[in-house]
Structure 1
């Protein structure tokens, strides 16, 4: 084996310090306890879709090298709610994390390892030295090569210890529902059965299945996927995966959104329900009459930006992806919605920060809005930025309201005026690192990682404000009964909920139905005559700031292709940097997109503080250095977004180095 990944220096790994440990049976772990093992520190936070992707990417690697490799999740929270130990424990259970997790609420270990982005992976060798530092997702192939090299090296030196790691699995708990994600009311007979009207279809996400509940919200009528349940609908050992077939044999993996098709469309296409099968990166269809589950779109490979477009310094293009949906890659579809205006299913494609559409009749998939870059930018669909879109609802005009979770924002995609050229508008929210719990003027109101949204008959919009444990209401400017004009405002309808992830209006029109994820149930909440008014403040994610000097400022991103890969330079420079700032005036020169992983900026001395927004990309394909890339070689895109808080001071640094994929 050609060993191109080698350490060039010997940096001792820092100790693991935090509030406590999960998945260790109550035992604390030190690096000394892990000596002799290859350790991968996974710096993550449970709000982050990229972090969730890494959890799934790592599972085969952990299984393959189970006797020599120990993964340690270092949970370093972005949002205030994520610092709650109970919320973290629920997330570890929900995402079926099978390795030790360090609770690092004050970012002590995060700072010790100079982490700057979620996710970050740090490889520590069996002697306790750092071997690699990797930002973002998609590194598993390179990690596999690196682990094999470290195994060979340290087995030869006698410093590798084989055997079990410190992971202690928790006791399983049986429930009717387990971390339900989304729900939709049954508004028409399903399978020719009129008694289904008034029931609810629920994504029983933690059980990897879809269930039909009676109106009592407790009784399971039937289910699709997950395995065999008992007479009460309880699953003792849920099964996940991807398999089409009847209700018992079909398999899902962490499904989320559900959309009930109109009767005439369902009759034409042969299925009633569209499911966002999130972790399988697919859309699925359910024919309720026969129980059959089929795959509608997605090839099961997580969607990344096409490497050819990256080498040409282009982003993803809004428009059609063709009419062969099973050949198209998707990325963590989180919610789905039938849109009469577009005649298609709208898809919140959380993994690529975009809005897609899917036509059940023709099979056409489209990128409807979003460049694929993570952030909050309004305007024409092709220029807009989203951040982990997670909830969808349509108003009477047909415009699509969006819970954009990572920017803690409520946004709207205006499709009613021109479905072919929609525009994006932010109603509540400020940016990736701004959140809070504040009512009042929408420009000043704050949410915290919302996941669900619905539109009421009076055109007001309800938001499942997930990390605030609340249901919030936005009502635009309107006329009161006495003819006076009432300004637009945000208010609070209910609070004290356990991570509500969806909200909808019950069939009686006077009650709300809330999917209370961490309570493992659906609950009814009465709409109060007078809404609460809350102002607990607006906050920003508290991360250490970097002191930078005004004037000329050098930025460089470290990247080295893994063993067995080489940079894909067939169309020119296969790397790209996109740089912007908040406020915009922070960067006087050097912002924008260009090839290469080095850039010289000029920072404004009159701006005291801000955030540098950096997106780095590099494309590599399987092949040996110095040789041509084979025509059908597998290619890989490495991408990471950073938001670096900075303070501008004369004594600050005049350069910043970040690692997209750095080998020590």
Structure 2
């Protein structure tokens, strides 16, 4: 199939679909009022199917903010929260997610995924645009669609205005009452014990207040704040600098701090930047060391750190004489080498192909899934990696074999990355976790142990690893010498960060309890073994026929954009399956939006098809434009990873159609 898998004329022949009713457990942000599509008739309705654990969903929340403002009278954005993990369906968790991520539109609590099924959603995030007469006019998967939606509304709003079907109105949203104190913490995420040379105390990412705070050792008293408390990207004196949902923290070695002029690094998540903080007696200072403030929209990356876009850096760690950055937004690990001045730093891809999932092996071919915490071992031989979306604990080690990282290999597609770099090779192995859709709450032998969306970690004095098992509300312990997982403490409100203070018998565990807006100090006990339970993501399976199945990914570029193949194929599709033998043919990477699959099995066979699609569309220059105009045209990357549960059946369809951008 050609790369133009869908065209406007083909889309125009598609029968019109009446939007199904919005049905769920309750509504958030409406003051208890249940909304019906009939209540919204006359306005465009954009349904945003999301789940609070998904980094791509968080990207979409940010992308939609401007769209909501510009089309406030004509457009109603409605979040449909269809949870991936059981914890996300617990009462109150969605309310806190709306507060945490500053969602300012109504959200349907689709705890049983009723509306998800009605709209045949297959991935987080999915966007569905409904016109003022109640018909679906677009179905979009993944992120990066704000520009296309802007253009689509620019076309459709005048049409409905002329037809008399458009009725403008006020924005629909009732803010939720806050349960965090203004002068305390709000959804904190990470904690870093400071050495005496920096004044001691605990440095905490006060994520919900967009700042850092230094607490006394008791974890309660605020000594000082770093950041003015408002969302933004502003360098300068600590009192006026600004962050946007800062997460991970990293203490630089004293000699590196002296060379670079900063003491602590911060993963400034929503600013897509790595910031440096100098904690001086004069109040301190904040500087940007990597990132431009824009989200990375291309597959490759590397070069001068301040000229390189990043994608949701979630954590930072000093390991193997470099700063390792958990680039959660593209499911990779990057390396930052800071210079003597901010402008001198460089970045490059260290590990990961950008495919989301769990695959071990050589670092350049490994798969990660929203890495949330990086924990160097005491001897520096291992970097422990906490992957939230695969509920996994993994390890990165140097192999000693040099790798030319000037070219970053993604399956059989090789992408130019940066100038030739001779860098050490690394290898990834998994000790706890088995995939994107398997999770649970189980101690025991590591191969059978289960976590649920962990977000934090720390090395304990005996060399074992404490994991903040966030959605299980626990801190777990993995012992590399015995290969066993035990539980240190439970009944916590979303622990997201852990650290150790003190030594010997006086050592204590510091835990960031994010939903409780506090930091706890707890005794460091040996732990207990719990039997626990296993689970998997429960979504309705898609029936497919055994044998030959045609996969079609539909993509229609927005008006004014086109697929540009001047430097090769502008699309990429990667297909795999769990279990792997479900696919008898059709797996691997390709440069077309359609391919033939062969599914192995008999009626009743179940599995998961993993489809990752990317399409790059560029703004179309005016007719007769010269080469400079072509080279300068803005380009947009559309991408989505689907994990589709399937069940084989004799009378099931032999075609699977996925909408990357179906209009």
Matched, 1:510 2:507: yes
Q: CA deviation at 1:7?
A: 8.2
Superposed CA deviations along residues 17-59 of structure 1, whole A, max 9, x for unmatched, are: 0000000011110001111111100000000000000000100
Q: Tell me which residue corresponds to 1:597.
A: 593
Equivalence map 1:80-479=2 (5 Å): 80-173=86-179, 174-175=181-182, 176-190=184-198, 196-197=199-200, 199-227=201-229, 239-289=230-280, 290=282, 291-306=284-299, 316=300, 321-322=302-303, 324-339=304-319, 342-361=320-339, 363-398=345-380, 399-415=382-398, 420-477=424-481
Number of the residue aligned with 1:481: none
The corresponding residue for 1:482 is none
Residues 67-100 of structure 1: CA distance to partner in whole angstroms, max 9, x if unpaired?
A: 1111000000000101112111111100010000
Structure 1 unmatched runs, 5+: 191-195, 228-238, 307-315, 478-486
The aligned residue for residue 533 of structure 1 is 529
1:458-514 CA distance string (max 9 Å, x none): 11111000000000011123xxxxxxxxx4211111100000001111224531100
1:338 deviation in Å?
A: 1.4
Which residue of structure 2 aligns with residue 36 of structure 1?
A: 42
User: How many angstroms does 1:156 deviate by?
Assistant: 0.9
Determine the C-alpha separation between the residues in 2 that align with 1:469 and 1:627. 61
Q: Could you report, residue by residue, the CA deviation over 1:506-531 in whole angstroms, capped at 9, with x for unpaired residues?
A: 224531100000000100121234x2
Is the 2:499–2:511 Cα contact (8 Å) retained in structure 1? yes
The answer (yes or no) to whether the contact 2:306–2:345 under 8 Å persists in 1 is no
TM-score, scaled relative to structure 1: 0.91
Contact 1:611 1:646 in 2 (8 A): yes
Distance in 1, matches of 2:256 and 2:194, equals 16
Once residues 31 and 607 of structure 2 are traced to their aligned partners in structure 1, the CA distance between those partners, rounded to angstroms, is: 42
Is residue 2:644 matched to residue 1:644? yes
Q: Is the 8 A contact 1:210 1:223 kept in 2?
A: yes
- Deviation, structure 1 residue 572: 3.2
2:620 matches 1:623? yes
Q: Unpaired runs of 5+ in structure 2?
A: 1-7, 402-422
SS of corresponding position for 1:401: strand
Which residue matches 1:580? 576
- Note closer, same or farther for the CA distance 1:521–1:627 as it changes in structure 2 (3 Å cut): farther
1:551, 1:603 within 8 Å by CA — same for their partners in 2? yes
Aligned partners of 2:598 and 2:623: how far apart in 1?
Answer: 37
Alignment check: 8 A CA contact 2:219 2:521 kept: no
Moved >4 Å (runs of 4+): 3-8, 416-419, 624-629
Aligned to 1:557: 553
Stretch deviating more after TM superposition (90-99 or 145-154): 145-154
What SS class does the counterpart of residue 92 from structure 2 fall into? Answer: helix
2 CA distance for matches of 1:248 and 1:37?
43
* C-alpha distance after superposition, 1:143-163 (max 9, x if no partner): 001112221111111111112
Q: Give SS of 1:151's match.
A: helix
* 8 Å CA contact 1:304, 1:352 repeated in 2: no
Contact 2:621–2:630 (CA<8 Å) still a contact in 1? Answer: no
Deviation of residue 172 (structure 1)? 4.2
Partner SS state of residue 109, structure 1:
helix
CA contact (8 A) 1:259 1:273 kept: yes
Kindly indicate whether the alpha-carbon contact (under 8 Å) linking 2:127 and 2:141 is maintained by their aligned counterparts in 1.
Answer: yes
2:565 to 563, 566, 569: 569
Q: Who is 2:407 aligned against?
A: none
CA distance in 2, matches of 1:513, 1:172: 25
8 Å CA contact 2:617–2:635 kept in 1: the answer is yes
- Could you say if the C-alpha distance between residues 7 and 652 of structure 1 is closer, same or farther in structure 2, counting changes exceeding 3 Å? closer
Deviations 1:530-583 (A, max 9, x none): x22222211110000112111111100110000111111112332221111111
How big is the shift at 1:589?
1.2
Offset from partner CA, 1:210-246 (integer Å, 9 cap, x none)? 111111211111111134xxxxxxxxxxx11111111
Q: Could you report, residue by residue, the CA deviation over 1:345-380 in whole angstroms, capped at 9, with x for unpaired residues? A: 111111010111111235121211100110000000
Count residues in correspondence: 619
Aligned to 2:412: none
**Offset at residue 415 of structure 1 (A):** 3.0
Relative to structure 1, the CA distance from residue 625 to residue 647 in structure 2 (aligned partners, 3 Å threshold; closer, same or farther) is farther
